[in-house]
Chains A and B, each alone.
Chain A
Amino acid sequence: SQQGEEDPQALSIQEGENATMNCSYKTSINNLQWYRQNSGRGLVHLILIRSNEREKHSGRLRVTLDTSKKSSSLLITASRAADTASYFCAFNTGNTGGFKTIFGAGTRLFVKA
Chain B
Amino acid sequence: DAGVIQSPRHEVTEMGQEVTLRCKPISGHNSLFWYRQTMMRGLELLIYFNNNVPIDDSGMPEDRFSAKMPNASFSTLKIQPSEPRDSAVYFCASSQDRGRISPLHFGNGTRLTVT
Kindly state whether residue B33 has any CB partner on chain A within 8 Å.
Answer: yes
Contact A2 B59 (CB under 8 A): yes
- Give Cα A1 to B55, complex, Å: 20
Known A42-B4, A44-B106, A45-B104; contact A101-B42, beta-carbon cutoff 8 A? no
- Give Cα A42 to B4, complex, Å: 10
Known A2-B45, A42-B4; contact A101-B59, beta-carbon cutoff 8 A? no
Kindly state whether residue B18 has any CB partner on chain A within 8 Å.
Answer: no
- For residue B73, give the distance in angstroms from its CB to the closest CB of chain A: 18
Known A33-B103, A48-B103; contact A3-B55, beta-carbon cutoff 8 A? no
- Give Cα A50 to B48, complex, Å: 22
Stretch at the interface among B62-70, B78-86, B94-102: B94-102
Known A100-B48, A100-B56, A103-B43; contact A45-B105, beta-carbon cutoff 8 A? yes
Kindly state whether residue B25 has any CB partner on chain A within 8 Å.
Answer: no
Kindly state whether residue A110 has any CB partner on chain B within 8 Å.
Answer: no
Kindly state whether residue A13 has any CB partner on chain B within 8 Å.
Answer: no
Query: Chain A residues with Cβ under 8 A from B101's Cβ?
Result: 30-31, 48, 50
Contact B106 A42 (CB under 8 A): yes
Contact with B along A87-98 (1 / 0, CB 8 A): 010101010001
Contact with B along A44-74 (1 / 0, CB 8 A): 1100101000000000000000000000000
Q: Give me the interface of B with A, judged by CB distance under 8 Å.
A: 4, 33, 35, 41-45, 48, 55-56, 59, 91, 93, 95, 98-101, 103-109
